[in-house]
Each structure stands twice: as C-alpha cells, then as structure tokens.
A and B are shown apart, each in its own frame.
Chain A
Amino acid sequence: MGSPAAEPQHGGENRQKNHLVFGSCSRYLQLWHGDDQRQRNSDVRVVGVVQRNQMRSQFTVPTVEPAAQNQLTLGGAVRRPALSSASFSRGMQTVTLIPGDGIGPEISTAVMKIFEAAKAPIRWEERNVTAIKGPGGRWMIPPDAKESMDRSKIGLKGPLKTPIAAGHPSMNLLLRKTFDLYANVRPCVSIEGYKTPYTDVNLVTIRENTEGEYSGIEHVIVDGVVQSIKLITENASRRIAEYAFEYARNNQRSSVTAVHKANIMRMSDGLFLRKCREVAENYKDVKFTEMYLDTVCLNMVQDPTQFDVLVMPNLYGDILSDLCAGLIGGLGVTPSGNIGANGVAIFESVHGTAPDIAGLDLANPTALLLSAVMMLRHMGLHDYGNKIQTACFDTIRDKKVLTKDLGGNSKCSEFTADICRRVQDLD
C-alpha cells in the first residue's frame, strides 16, 4: 500500500495514458470502497476492488421455513448462514433502530408499541445517525451506530432528512456505502381496504443499489457539454442476480424478469443481462424472462398481475419501484428492505420526513410497520410477522381509525392502539 499521508501523485506515464473517463472510474471506485487502498497505480487499485467484491456473503441456504399459506408474503429474504444462527436462538434478538427525523421518532415509537403488544422477541437498540467527520476527513456514521449494526446485523430505519448544502452526502448514501447495501427490495402488494385503481398487485422489485446511473461521476467536458457515467460491473450484476433468484426461491415466487435497455445500451445492459442469464442457469426452478424497460412500463400500468419478481440496475429500479409503489397507494404504505454484504439488512420506510406534521401525532406508521414485518420474515419469525400484518390490514380494511393520508381523521396513537388491540386479540 502506498503511504496514506502522501498526496496523490499526478505524474507518470500511467496517468497520462488514463484518459478522463478511466481516471474517473478509478476515482469512483476509490470513493466507493474507501481510501484505505490508496494505490498510485490505478490498475492495481481497480483489481484490488474486484478482489474485495469476491467476498460475497454466502448464499448457501438451509431448509426454508414455509411462509403462511393464506398470507401474501411481504419479504423474507436470504436465510442466514449457519455460523450466525446463534443470534437467532429462541431468546431476544437485537435490532438496531434508527428513528430518523421529522415523523421518524413517533412512527418508531408506534412500531415498538405494536411489537410489544405482539410480544415479539425483539430487543431494540436505538441509535442516531448523523454524519460526523472521521479521521482522514471522510464523512462517516457515528461509530456506536456502526458497531451496533455490525453486531445485530439487522436494522430498522425511519426517514432521514438530507440537508441541502451541508457539505456531506446524504445519510442514506452514507449508510449504503458503510454497509455495502447492494440490493433494495420492495414488495408491492395491494392493500385490501386502501382503494387504488389497481387491485391484485403482487410483485417485488429488486434493484441494484450501488452502481449504475447513480455512480455520481459527472464531468463538464467543455462549457455546455456534460457527460454522466453509468457504471455496470460484472460482480455487482452477478450479485444482484443471485440475490434475486435466491429471493424468488425462498419466497415461492415463480418467475424473475430482468429489465433492461440492451437494444440501446448494448454493452452495459448487455453485461447485466448476460450475468442474469448465467445465474438463471443455476436456478432452473425459477422461470427467467427478459423485457425491455419501456415494455415493462407499458404493461405495468395496463396489467400489473403479469409481473412477479423484477430485477434491474439502479436507475430503472428507482423509477419502476416508485411506479409500483404508486400502484398500491404511494410511499406511505410501501415497505422496503436493503440487503448488504456480510448478512447485514436494513429495513426502512421510504417516505420523507414530513416536517410539517412532525410531532403532531398525525403520521401514518404503516410503511415502517410493514417494513418491520418484512424484517421479521427475514429473521424467520413468520408467525409474529403474519400476526402483525393481519392486524394492520384488518385495521385499514375496517376504515374506522385511519390516519389522514389513508382517508380518515384519526391520530397516529389511535391507529396504533387499534392495531395493538387486534394483535392482542389474535393471540
């Protein structure tokens, strides 16, 4: 390794050969994977990164617990490798809770109350994530939060606000980088009782979360011409494809569809497609199809029932997952999970912080609650997950105590109390 204290050397023939684009690629990878590998030789730096990517979390799956027969599963991802099964003993399991900003604290309290009523074996460890400047000038999350997450491996996160012009990247981005959260999973299931023009939606969008169009590498070539770089790598594509097929297998999903635009972006989406096809060879029990992004959009708004699991790169995933969230009623009722390397998983609500209703007991905790249910399924606690989900859906179907965004005018605490009551009745 080069001396970390030295300034980057810009001389040398190697550098000159690297034209603007390649230099930016290396810089991106450096930013992504941390500057602890400050090699002056760009080639070695990139290869070093590729080697690090090889350290994927194991996907060896022991026996799968069947999901409840009459419930639509809202998650349940990769099973844990055997070595960390100690943390899934019959006792209490620790989950790092990040309440967030705005309405975050009140919806987190609501979720904790409901879990208490359900007597779920979860011990919450509340942590705050505000960006702090670590040694070396890099922004990072507080070390106690990181340590807690590394220990418990599961996190539940409320909405985090992104201050504009704060000098540091958004908190979500920081979390993503710290724990290498490479897959964003969003199960979109129509909620009975919350009417939208689309009924019978039951699909899952799995989006690659680390690269693609959101690499943030942009340059002004000449005044008035901007180039933005979309990065697709073999390892990231293979990793997300494997996760998608594992998810499909573990959740009894029949097909996986890769969404791409390889007719136009032949090399990049072509690489993504090739990796998906390769991985599909190992999962013959799951049907694999490929579809253009525009065809998916067209068919999604006409007949969403034809889709099952969708896997795609970052930008398409962003657009499609929000499209699907819109089909079932918006971000206020959509759960979401982020799966990382080394078995880390952070489940979150994807709506905003809603500062205008913060502290007024008007917030809707459904999104965070459904994400927590997804988390329970991920941990293998299907019974508790189903119980809480049933209670939540029953409350919404009943329409007696609904928060304002669901069409009622009850308070958050009343909504929560109703769900708690139902959970206790279900026991």
Chain B
Amino acid sequence: MERPEEPHNSGPPTLQHRNGPSENPADPAEILQHLPSRTVGQRDGFGLMDLTMPRWRQKLRSLRSMDSISNEEDLKGSNPYGCHDLNVIQTMFRLSGFKRARSLRALPVSLRTRRWCWLQASGGQTQATVAPGQPSHQTAAVHTHHKSISRLLELNNVALPVIAHLPRTRGRDIIPLVVKDRPSSPRSVGDELEYPAVTTSIFGKVRSQASDCLGLPFSLSLWHNTLKEIGGSFGSGVLSYFLHLRWLLLFNALALCLNIIFLLIPQLLHPPEHERVKPFPILELFTGTGYFSNTPLFYGFYTNTTINLVLRNSHNEFGNVSSNDGVDAGYSMQLAYLFTISAYLFISSIILLVCMARSFSDNYVKVGTAGTFSLKVFTRWDFNLMSRPAVLLEQRNIATSLKEMLSESRTKEHSPWVDFVNKLTVQPAIWLIYLGTALGCCSAIFFLYEKSEKLESQDDKAWKSEAGLLVLPTIISFFNMVLPLLYSRLAGLEGYRSPVNRVYVTLVRNIILKMFIIAGLFYHWLQKLSVEPNQCWETTMGQQLYRLVVMDFLFLIFDTVLIEYIFGLVTGGCQQSYAQRDSQKSEFDIARNVLDLIYGQTLVWLGAFFSPLLPAVQLIKLLLLFYIKKESLFRNCQQPAIPWMARKMSTVFVSLQFFPAFFGAVAVVFILWRQQPSKSCGPFRGLQVPSDAIDVWTTTASPKFSAVIWILNNIIENPIFLLVCAGLIIIGIYANWQIVHGYRQIMALLQNRIEEERMDKNFLLERLKMAQGTGTRAGNQHKIG
C-alpha cells in the first residue's frame, strides 16, 4: 500500500486530532501517523542531541515547538506549521547578550529573519519600535503573509524541526527602514569603539574586537589566500599541516615577544662587558659558537644584576644609583629571567591543554561508530576544493573507493584466521624490528658522539673542531629523515585494516623514537656538562640545541628538494591501486611533515631556558618552511588517495604536540629547581639553584612587598596548597569523565530504543494489514450474504 506523504516531523499532534482520520480509520498509514513514537518526540522537540545541549537551548527548542501547537488557531489556511515567534523573542529577551547572540546565530532561518529577531530582542534603537500590530487579525495583509510563510517554509524545506519564522509583513516594514535609513554623515567604519551598549554583552564585544585587531586575525588572516589555494587544490588533509604550522608560529611569536620585552631590552640597556671575539665566519652561523656565545642568543649573555631604572633630570639615565630621592624601581634580571621563562612555558602548556581538550571533545567524544556508505556519500565531499583537476580527482577517488567498498561487502573480506595469525606473528615481529632499530639508532648516536668528542679534543685546527660540533646534529637529522621512511614501509607490511590505523601507528613510533633520542641526549648533557667547572654549561647546552634546530631545518630543505628531483618516489601510505593517478607525482606525506614540525617545536621548548632567542630562530625557520613546502607542494604533489580525516588528525597533532611540550616543561622545571647553575655566567650565578632567586628577593625586598612575600612564603610554598590544587584538578577530571561516560550510556540506551521502536512499528503494521484483510473479507461476505 502506498504510504501517503507523511506530515513533517514537527507537525503538532493536535492538528492531527483536529483533522481526524479522513478516510478509512483502519488505514495503516493513518495509524502510522498517530503512533506515539512519531508524535511524542516532536512534542518535546527533542532529538538525541538535546541531552548534550545546554539548558537554555533546550528551553528554546521546547518553546518553539510549543508555539507550533498553541498558535495554530491564528493561522488558517494551507499552513499547518505557522507560529508566532513572539515566544522565541521573549525567550531571547530573557537571555543575556552573549547567549542571545549565540542562540540567534544558530537559528536555521534566513539572515533577514534573524536580523529582525535581533532588532526585536534588543528593543531596537531606531525603527524597530514599530508597533507589532495585531498578529491575530485576519486581514488581507496577514493572508498574504500566510501565503508567503508557507512559501517560505517550502523554500526553507519544511524539514525544519524548529520553526521561528517571522510574519513577513513585519519584516517588510522593518528591514527596509533599517536599510534605507542611513545617517546623513555616515560614520566611518573606523569608529569601532563606540557601541550602542544595548545588545551584545561586553564579553562578546571584546572578543570580536580582539579578533578584529589583535591576535586572532594574525592567525586567521595570515596567509589566508594561500591557504585557500592549498585547500582548494589539495583538500583539507594537506591544509591541516599548514594550519598546524601557522598555529605553531603563534607560540613562537608569543615567546619572542615575552623574551624581548622582559629580557632583551632591559639587558641591552645594561649590557655586560666581555671581550670582543674574532670576526664572524659563516660556520658559526651553524654552530652557534664563538661570536654567538656572548650574544643575547644564549644564556651566558644575561647578568644577574639589578638594573635600577631611575629617571633623573629629564634624561633617561640608567645607573646603579641608590635611591635616595624617591622611586626605587629595581629590575632584577634574575627574577625576570626566572619568571619570564616559567610564564612562557606555563602559558604554552595551558594553551595546548585547552586546544587539545576542545578538539578531543569535538572529535572523539561526541561521535560514535560509523556507517561507512552513508558517511562517504554525505560527508566525504570536501567543499573547500576549488580547482578543476582537484575536483575531478576527488570524484574519481570517491567513485573508486565506493566500488571497492561494494566489492568488499559482496565478498567476505579478510578472514578472521588471517587476522589472528597477523596479530600473533607479524605484528610482534615488526614491533621487535622497530625496537631493534630504535635501540640501534640510539646507540649509534651515542657511540658516534663519544667518538666525535674525542676527535674534537685531538684536533688542532679551529675550524675542524668547530665543524666537528656539527657531526652529532647531522647524524640525528639523518636518522630523523631515514627512519620514518623505514617505519612506514614496515607498517605497510603489517596488514592493518585501515590506512588510517597504519598512519597512527607510524606516527606513534616515530614520536617515541625521537623523544627517546632527545631525552637521552639531554640527560647525558646535563650529567656531563654541569659538573665541569669554569664553563658556562647552559650556553653550551643552548648551543647544542641551536645546532640541532639549524641542522633540522637544513635537512628539511634537503629532503624537500630531494622529492623534487626524484620522480615517482612514493612516500607514506599511498595505495597504488587507483588507475590514472599521476605516477610521476608523489603524495604530500602529512604525517611525516607534521612529525618534523612537532620535533622542531619540542627542541625549541627545551631550549627556551638556555637560549631565550631560540624562538626567533624557529620563527624564521617556520616562515621559510611554509614557502618552501608550498612551492614543493604545488610542483610535485597530488591529492592524497586516502580520505584524510582532517579533524581527527588535527586532534592527534595537537595531542602529540602537547606531550613532548609537557615533558620539556617538566625538564626545565627540574633544572630550575634542582640543578646548580654555572658560577661564571648567566643570571643565576652565585646561587645554589635558580629558584633561590626568589628567596634572595624575599629577604632583600623593601617592606612594600611584605604582603606578596607573606603569600609566597605561607601559601605558595606550602605543600598543602599544592596538594589542594592537585586534588581539585583530579576531582574535576574525574567528574567530567563520569559525565561523559554517562552521556555515552544514555546515547546507547536511546539507540536501542530507536531500534525497538522500529521493530514495534513493523510488527504493528503487519498486524494491521492482517486485521484489515480479515475485516474486508468479513465485510464482503456480509454484503454478499
């Protein structure tokens, strides 16, 4: 039996009661319409998502659907859905400015409607105080507005579960007035500070103001057009690498700003004396020794003096004068250094943590398992693509993968036996190989390092010994270039089901390897160098890290150029099964490139303490890298074959960025608290541990700061405070975890209920058909008989 067109989901149940069953009361389709599962859901206006919605939004939705029930009497005619939006607007009145804006933006109606609602809700400064009129008058105007509402609804595709339309007449009155009324002297757009302080809250305004002027446009509009081109030609996956690069730029810019303002400028005003070294050969640009040792680039430049900033006689004279005449503004370099570095690391960790948490919750918590075909059809198409070849290629990719999926679903895929054997033998074997190569690589590095140090001490020629300093970074960078290739090949052998799993495993392995190498080296240096007397070990460490960063950059360039000259070099997880792919072109290996970014940034975080201007080096490196990679991309690469789940991968990238950063911060904190600084250089000379600077300050500070000192001594240094903080954080984490767990359970339960409803419905239909069949037969018999 042909089911008639069902009224839309949000059709109010009372309407159906009013209309009554029009034809045969036992018509199964009619009964279907009256099924409680159809109507109860819509009466509440809820779907599964509402449980995760904040309460104010749930209220809004329920109000909207209640509108549709209560206001039908006003609207006769073909339109069964019409409602007033007065209730919606009243609800919006009750919300605060920022929430109101948020609820307004999320209404799936036209912008015009939203602007009208905004005017109403804000109490409208200018013309919106037009009297609302008599909405329930059945005038000609209202008739036309009914027609236009229903037309609007048709055009807006009656699939809307939420209806908040405005009576079109009102819109007609108001919007043109707003549009036409321009002040005689139009204010220039530059007057951004004068807001009619009515509608949006201060917070919302500050946010948008900030995003217009400050940090965010720097991140959002830098390279905007280039990124658009890249996304248009290569898709969101490749774009995510460049976005990650741009995001890292922010960190380095922040570090640089802090360091320049708080460390460099004060120190430059009172530079330490040191002998001018030899002139500056090019090699020292790479090794960072010699000329650079006594520049602000490294730790050794900074002194432990207290710079007195005293203004005298309208000149800016900075001298070590005691403050007999009033203002004693001493700027202690020790404290400045300590706090700047700690603040920078702390802020970075917090930012990373917040970004990680947010993207994790977006992409992992709220999603479940996938239905592959439907997802491929509806979510695979990347709307970012702009260039014709990219679009054609993507269409071909989708077609091919759909064909593969169809053929897979027809035949049995990997038999469980093969999987089992795989898990038992091949995968452990590959892990063993991986561990073997990792250990071999580490030991090779240490061995060569020892050897190069011996050579270094034996060599007389200065430039040779300096060049010898470069051996270690070269080896490390070489391994960093080669081993990931090896690992991706190995992962290909393992027979993972989905290519994305393979990419994850390879990423994790590479990260572990690199972290081992860095951690090992760091520990080794710390042990070895810090016990040598008379040497500025922090500067030496800074130089080592500087060399690593520079070498890393050189190898990245080398690697990119290598791709340019070797055609057909297939890297990463590319499947060759797609015909007509350009075999001359390789794919842009996103995982490997992001790994390089993460590694480089970890080095910078580790080195921030030893070399305050290292972020500047990293900044220059990232800027150059962007352009180099972009050129290489456009010349050599084509779109990746596998659907690269950009959002999920960006979560993975941020998390992978977080953990090395966290450990780097822990390492630096350890140094600050436990390691004895060198006696001859740096801002912490003469102290047992750098954190003693705080104690020194507390004992010698003027009584103005007694409150601060008291807080420091009794609260912050009190272990109970730390315990309480840690306890609160743990409680917060546990509570959130439980909430998420609860939501997941509820979602599973509701899914089950949907399934059961479907089965119930089918069962009822069958029964009804049977009942109807017997009924008509009985009726026929009655007629005949």
Are A and B subunits of one complex? no
Q: Which residues of B approach A to under 8 Å, CB–CB?
A: none
